């Protein structure tokens, strides 16, 4: 099959790296000690603007935006130091894979990744002579939204690009035109017919300092025929592990959280609040809710030290947790850049959730700014609670309710490393589990265990009615003895009044 028109090279072979990015390694929970590879058929090449088919009856077509190295001069047994001199340039690529047919190939990825059109490449090549291999940037958009953003610095790549070239060259001759797909950063996920995926590689020219770009590699997903013949080979099949790999996480795949002895009750991570329950929680003040929790033996449910950026704010929702650890320079290099845990958490928000950030009560840098606040609003989140600082505080206050310890213009790298999400966190000296109910107003923020929320809010609203009646009696000049709370004849009067309403 000839190389499609518009593909910038005609490679003899296409070699792909399994895992090369620190962010991808962290997402997958395993870090390779040495690079490993697989081959893609050259018949899978496609040009920018072409469509990719997801066969009917399948569901796990995943994109992987990648930097493609194009070999310029035959390389055999070259050193990492000299490897870049054998490169013609770099361009954008997308290492698509159909996870529905991945399992039978046991790591070779032959059928899942070598289907026609599954290796878009281009549209332009950035000359290697003008590109520093440690200063490239790769971005992927799905339907206009950034899903991957990473680079090739020593802190971002497990295996430098020059090492990959040198390693491959000690096993085979890399010929002019050969293409190496250098692995994908975190953020790879599933796309469906109707989606459009764009990938771009950029860098600053080593000669002029101006930005160089591969141009955007555009691929449109369409539905294709699904006429697999079971008499010829394995049929599409999906299991939970394939869903998690394709989507990037259990949560993104829509799977229930794994059972854990650490969860409290069956309701620990229940679904969204009903509209009726949410309306009641919005009406109930945190003071009344706190009193009802205390009556049930829960005294340590207040997130201490936080206040609303905008007085009068009210926040109600289920907790989406995010944890920062104290800054350590080597850990920030490996976990702070690219599509880190913070960005992943905000990208995976569900409607009705509240981001709860553990920042150890450290206000010395911002834990979010206006861009993340806008992302939270777009995802349908109802607010953010952080026991750290907030950047762009005036803008953030106008976007959605945010409760914080203070304002600070500094970025994460000054005090924090974004570490993990969807775990138990300690925010403002309160333990918060994913799915806990969060309520905040001018008095502060409280945490309500999911299994108690219905009875607690009913009791709090009933007490509000009683306290309102008591306040009217006190305002009329009556002493508070036996009235607050009502006892004896005052109790009788209150019950009679309530019955008349």
Backbone angle region of 164, left / alpha / beta, with phi > 0 → left and psi within -120 to 50 → alpha: alpha
Is there a binding annotation on residue 391?
yes
Domain locations in the chain as residue ranges:
14-247, 275-453
pLDDT of residue 428: 96
Mean pLDDT over each residue of the chain, to the nearest integer: 90
CA-based torsion, 366, 370, 375, 378: positive or negative: positive
pTM for the whole structure: 0.55
Cis amide prior to 485 (ω within 30 degrees): yes
Helix, strand, coil shares of the chain, percent, nearest 5, are: 25, 30, 45
Nearest to 189 by CA among 96, 256, 112: 96
Tokens representing 426 are: 């300690």
Residue 23 has pLDDT above 70, yes or no: yes
The pLDDT of residue 333 is 85
C-alpha to C-alpha distance for 9 and 34, rounded to whole angstroms: 28
**Among 377, 357, 369, CA closest to 394:** 369
Average of per-residue pLDDT across 300-319? 96
Class of domain 14-247: alpha beta
Structure confidence at residue 471 as a pLDDT band (50, 70, 90): confident
- Chain-centroid distance of CA 424 in Å reads 17
183 marked as part of a ligand binding site: no
What is the per-residue burial (b if ≥16 Cβ within 10 Å, else e) of 428-465? bebebbbbbbbbbbeebbbbbbbebbbebbebbbebee
Determine which helix (DSSP H) or strand (DSSP E) holds 242, and give its type and residue range: helix 240-247
What is residue 337's predicted lDDT score, i.e. its pLDDT?
Answer: 81
What is the structure's pLDDT at 26? 84
What tokens appear for 352 in the block? 């009705």
Taking only the tens place, the pLDDT of each residue in 210-233 is 899 999 999 999 999 887 887 888
Q: Greatest CA separation found in the chain? A: 99
Question: According to the annotation, is 432 in a ligand binding site?
Answer: no
Task: Please list the alpha-helical segments (H only) found in 350-487.
Answer: 370-378, 393-397, 453-475
pLDDT at 256 over 80: no
Please give the Cα distance from 442 to 440 (Å, whole number).
7
Is 396 assigned a ligand-binding role in the annotation? no
Rounded to whole angstroms, the Cα distance separating 196 from 216 reads 12
pLDDT in tens, 238-249: 888 888 888 988
Q: What is the pLDDT of residue 161?
A: 96
pLDDT in tens, 120-137: 999 999 999 999 999 999
- The answer to whether 194 touches 83, Cβ cutoff 8 Å, is no
Q: Assess contact for 181 and 40: CB atoms under 8 A.
A: yes
Whether the CB-CB separation of 93 and 121 falls below 8 Å is answered with: yes
Closest CA to 75 of 141, 172, 204, 219: 172
CA 152/CA 134 separation, integer angstroms: 5
The pLDDT, as a whole number, for residue 3 is: 64
Q: What is the pLDDT of residues 420-461, one digit of tens each?
A: 999 999 999 999 999 999 999 999 999 999 989 999 999 899
Tens digit of pLDDT for each residue in 143-191? 999 999 999 998 899 999 999 999 999 999 999 999 999 999 999 999 9
Contact of 136 with 90, CB cutoff 8 Å: yes
Residues 6+ apart with CB under 8 A from 106: none
Asked if residue 269 has pLDDT above 70, the reply is no
Across 469-487, average pLDDT: 84
Instruction: Indicate if the pLDDT at residue 313 is higher than 60.
Output: yes
Give the pLDDT of residue 501.
Answer: 78
Q: 265 vs 361, which has greater pLDDT?
A: 361
**Residue 372 marked in a binding site:** yes
* DSSP one-letter string for 253-296: TTPPPPP-TTS-STTTT--PPPHHHHHHHHHS-HHHHHHHHHHT
Q: Is 227 annotated as a binding residue?
A: no
Residue 53's beta-bridge partner residues?
222
pLDDT tens-digit profile of 76-130?
999 999 999 999 999 999 999 999 888 888 778 999 999 999 999 999 999 999 9
Three-state SS for 11? coil
- pLDDT tens-digit series, residues 341-387: 999 999 989 999 999 999 999 999 999 999 999 999 999 999 999 99
Q: Is the bond leading into 76 cis (omega within 30 degrees of zero)? A: no
For residue 330, pLDDT over 80 is answered with: yes
Two tokens at 125?
Answer: 């090549």
Cβ–Cβ under 8 Å, residues 180 and 168: yes
Using pLDDT thresholds of 50, 70 and 90, give the confidence band for residue 270. low
pLDDT of amino acid 451? 87
H or E element that contains 434: none
* CATH superfamily for domain 275-453: Ribonuclease E inhibitor RraA/RraA-like (3.50.30.40)
Q: Which of 220, 315, 222, 219 is nearest to 273 (CA)?
A: 315
pLDDT at 395: 95
């Amino acid at each position: 099959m000839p190389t499609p028109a518009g593909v910038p090279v005609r490679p003899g072979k296409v070699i792909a790296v399994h895992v090369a990015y620190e962010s991808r390694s962290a997402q997958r929970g395993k870090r390779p000690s040495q690079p490993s590879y697989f081959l893609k058929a050259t018949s899978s090449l496609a040009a920018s603007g072409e469509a990719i088919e997801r066969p009917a009856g399948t569901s796990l077509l995943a994109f992987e935006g990648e930097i493609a190295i194009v070999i310029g001069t035959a390389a055999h047994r070259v050193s990492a130091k000299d490897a870049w001199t054998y490169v013609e340039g770099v361009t954008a690529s997308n290492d698509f894979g159909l996870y529905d047919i991945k399992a039978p190939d046991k790591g070779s990825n032959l059928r899942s990744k070598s289907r026609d059109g599954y290796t878009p490449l281009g549209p332009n090549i950035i000359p290697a002579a003008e590109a520093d291999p440690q200063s490239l940037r790769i971005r992927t958009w799905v339907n206009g939204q950034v899903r991957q953003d990473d680079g090739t610095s020593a802190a971002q790549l497990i295996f430098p690009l020059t090492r990959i070239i040198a390693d491959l060259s000690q096993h085979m001759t890399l010929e002019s035109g050969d293409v190496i797909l250098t692995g994908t950063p975190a953020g790879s996920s599933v796309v469906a017919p109707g989606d459009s995926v764009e990938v771009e590689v950029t860098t600053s020219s080593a000669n002029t300092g101006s930005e160089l770009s591969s141009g955007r590699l555009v691929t449109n997903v369409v539905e294709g025929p699904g006429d697999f013949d079971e008499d010829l080979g394995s049929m599409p099949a999906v299991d939970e592990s394939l869903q998690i790999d394709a989507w990037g996480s259990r949560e993104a795949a829509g799977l229930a959280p794994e059972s854990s002895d650490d969860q409290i009750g069956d309701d620990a991570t229940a679904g969204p609040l009903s509209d009726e329950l949410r309306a009641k929680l919005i009406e109930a003040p945190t003071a009344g809710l706190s009193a009802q929790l205390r009556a049930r033996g829960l005294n340590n449910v207040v997130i201490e030290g936080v206040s609303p950026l905008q007085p009068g704010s009210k926040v109600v929702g289920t907790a989406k947790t995010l944890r920062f650890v104290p800054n350590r320079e080597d850990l920030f290099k490996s976990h702070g850049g690219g599509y880190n845990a913070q960005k992943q958490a905000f990208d995976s928000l569900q409607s009705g959730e509240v981001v709860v950030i553990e920042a150890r009560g450290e206000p010395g840098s911002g834990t979010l700014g206006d861009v993340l606040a806008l992302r939270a609003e777009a995802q349908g989140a109802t607010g953010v609670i952080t026991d750290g600082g907030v950047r762009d505080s005036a803008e953030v206050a106008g976007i959605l309710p945010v409760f914080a310890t203070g304002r600070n213009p500094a970025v994460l790298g000054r005090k924090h490393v974004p570490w993990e999400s969807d775990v138990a966190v300690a925010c403002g000296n309160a333990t918060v589990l994913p799915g806990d109910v969060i309520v905040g107003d001018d008095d502060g923020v409280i945490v309500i265990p999911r299994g108690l929320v219905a009875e607690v809010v009913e009791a709090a609203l009933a007490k509000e009615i009683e306290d309102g009646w008591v306040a009217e009696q006190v305002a009329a000049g009556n002493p508070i003895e036996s009235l607050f709370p009502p006892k004896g004849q005052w109790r009788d009067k209150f019950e009679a009044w309530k019955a008349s309403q």
